Structure 1
Amino acid sequence: MTNLTIVGAQWGDEGKGKIVDYFSNKFDVVLRFQGGHNAGHTIVINDTKFILSILPSGVIRNKLCIIGSGTVIDPIHLFKEIDYLKRKKIIVSNQNLKIANNASLLLPFHSLIDKIRENILSKEKIGTTRRGIGPCYEDKIARRGIKICDLENINFLKKRLKNLIDFHNIFLKNFSKTPISFNETFQFLKSVKKKLLSYSIDLSDFVNSNQFLNKKLLFEGAQGLMLDVDYGTFPYVTSNNTLPATASSSIGLNPKRLGNILGVVKAYTTRVGEGPFPTEIKSNLGLNLAKNGNEFGTVTGRQRRCGWFDSVQCKKAVNIAGIESLVLTKIDVLDSFKKINICYQYKLKNKLFNSMPNSISILNKIKPQYLSIKGWQCKTSGITNIKKLPKQAKKFIKIIEKLVGVPIILVSNGPDRKNIIKLKRF
Structure 2
Amino acid sequence: MSSLSSSTSNYTQPKASVCAVIGGQWGDEGKGKLVDLIAKQHQIICRYNGGANAGHTIVDELGRKYATNLLPSGVLTPGCINLIGNGVVLEIPKLFSEIDNLLEKKKNDDDNVIHDLEKRILISDRTHLVFGFHKAIDGFQEGVLKESGSQIGTTKRGIGPTYTTKAARSGLRTGDLLSDFETFEKKYNKLLKTLKSQYPTCEELNSYDAQGELDSYKNIFIPRIKSMIIDTVTYLHKAIYVEGRDVLLEGANAVMLDLDFGTYPFVTSSNPCIGGACTGLGIPPRAISEVYGVIKAYCTRVGSGPFPTELKDETGDLIRKIGGEFGTTTGRPRSCGWLDVVAVKYGCMINGFNALCLTKLDVLDQLDEVKLGVGYRLNGVELDTVPYSADDLDKVEVIYETYPGWKTDISKVRKFEDLPQNAQTFVKRIQEKVGVPVKWIGVGAGREAVVVIQ
| TM superposition score normalised by structure 1 | 0.96
Deviation of 1:255 (Å): 2.0
**Alignment partner, residue 352 of structure 2:** 322
Deviation of 1:257 (Å): 1.8
Contact 1:169–1:179 (CA under 8 A) maintained in structure 2: no
Contact 1:16–1:264 (CA under 8 A) maintained in structure 2: yes
Asked whether 1:19 is paired with 2:48, we answer no
Contact 2:135–2:157 (CA under 8 A) maintained in structure 1: yes
Deviation of 1:283 (Å): 1.3
**1:48 aligned to which of 41, 64, 68:** 64
Deviation of 1:162 (Å): 1.8
Distance 2:397 2:278 in 1: 37
**Alignment partner, residue 235 of structure 1:** 265
Once the two structures are superposed, what CA deviation does each residue of 1:238-272 show, in whole Å capped at 9, x if it has no partner? 01011122222222222222220000000000000
Deviation of 1:349 (Å): 2.5
Asked whether 1:312 is paired with 2:336, we answer no
Distance 2:300 2:118 in 1: 36
Distance 2:301 2:239 in 1: 42
Distance 1:272 1:194 in 2: 37
**Alignment partner, residue 265 of structure 1:** 295
**2:235 aligned to which of 177, 181, 206:** 206
**2:251 aligned to which of 211, 217, 221:** 221
- Counterpart secondary structure, 1:307: strand
- Counterpart secondary structure, 1:42: strand
Deviation of 1:160 (Å): 1.5
Deviation of 1:92 (Å): 4.6
Contact 2:346–2:385 (CA under 8 A) maintained in structure 1: yes
Contact 2:310–2:337 (CA under 8 A) maintained in structure 1: yes
Distance 1:230 1:30 in 2: 25
**Alignment partner, residue 96 of structure 2:** 79
- Counterpart secondary structure, 2:59: strand
Assess, with a 3 A threshold, how the Cα gap between structure 1 residues 108 and 43 changes in structure 2: closer, same or farther: same
- Counterpart secondary structure, 2:395: coil
Distance 2:359 2:130 in 1: 32
Contact 1:338–1:375 (CA under 8 A) maintained in structure 2: yes
Structure 1 letter corresponding to 2:71: L
Greater shift in the superposed pair: 117-126 or 259-268: 117-126
Contact 1:82–1:92 (CA under 8 A) maintained in structure 2: no
Contact 1:28–1:64 (CA under 8 A) maintained in structure 2: yes
**2:47 aligned to which of 8, 32, 53:** 32
**Alignment partner, residue 184 of structure 1:** 212
Deviation of 1:157 (Å): 1.5
Greater shift in the superposed pair: 261-270 or 352-361: 352-361
**2:222 aligned to which of 193, 196, 205:** 193
Structure 2 letter corresponding to 1:148: T
**1:111 aligned to which of 135, 152, 167:** 135
Distance 1:210 1:365 in 2: 48
Greater shift in the superposed pair: 90-99 or 219-228: 90-99
Distance 1:208 1:380 in 2: 42
- Counterpart secondary structure, 2:249: strand
Contact 2:22–2:273 (CA under 8 A) maintained in structure 1: yes
Contact 2:239–2:245 (CA under 8 A) maintained in structure 1: no
- Counterpart secondary structure, 2:119: coil
Contact 1:59–1:92 (CA under 8 A) maintained in structure 2: no
**Alignment partner, residue 6 of structure 1:** 21
Structure 2 letter corresponding to 1:56: P
Contact 1:103–1:147 (CA under 8 A) maintained in structure 2: yes
Distance 2:335 2:202 in 1: 31
Distance 2:201 2:75 in 1: 43
**1:102 aligned to which of 117, 121, 126:** 126
Contact 2:410–2:419 (CA under 8 A) maintained in structure 1: yes
Once the two structures are superposed, what CA deviation does each residue of 1:150-205 show, in whole Å capped at 9, x if it has no partner? 12222332331122101111244313164334423322321311212121001112
**Alignment partner, residue 157 of structure 1:** 184
Distance 1:58 1:88 in 2: 16
Contact 1:85–1:91 (CA under 8 A) maintained in structure 2: no
Contact 2:57–2:68 (CA under 8 A) maintained in structure 1: yes
- Counterpart secondary structure, 2:411: coil
Asked whether 1:130 is paired with 2:159, we answer no
Distance 1:283 1:396 in 2: 22
Distance 2:217 2:172 in 1: 10
Structure 2 letter corresponding to 1:325: A
CA RMSD of aligned residues (A): 1.5
| Alignment: residue pair count | 424
Contact 1:9–1:314 (CA under 8 A) maintained in structure 2: yes
Deviation of 1:47 (Å): 2.3
Deviation of 1:285 (Å): 1.4
Contact 1:165–1:180 (CA under 8 A) maintained in structure 2: no
Assess, with a 3 A threshold, how the Cα gap between structure 1 residues 309 and 290 changes in structure 2: closer, same or farther: same
Distance 1:304 1:92 in 2: 35
Deviation of 1:3 (Å): 2.2
- Structure 2 residue runs of 5 or longer lacking an equivalent are 1-15, 107-113
Asked whether 1:57 is paired with 2:73, we answer yes
Greater shift in the superposed pair: 45-54 or 325-334: 45-54
Structure 1 letter corresponding to 2:178: E
- Counterpart secondary structure, 2:401: strand
Q: How many percent identity over aligned positions?
A: 36
Distance 2:200 2:326 in 1: 35
Contact 1:173–1:179 (CA under 8 A) maintained in structure 2: no
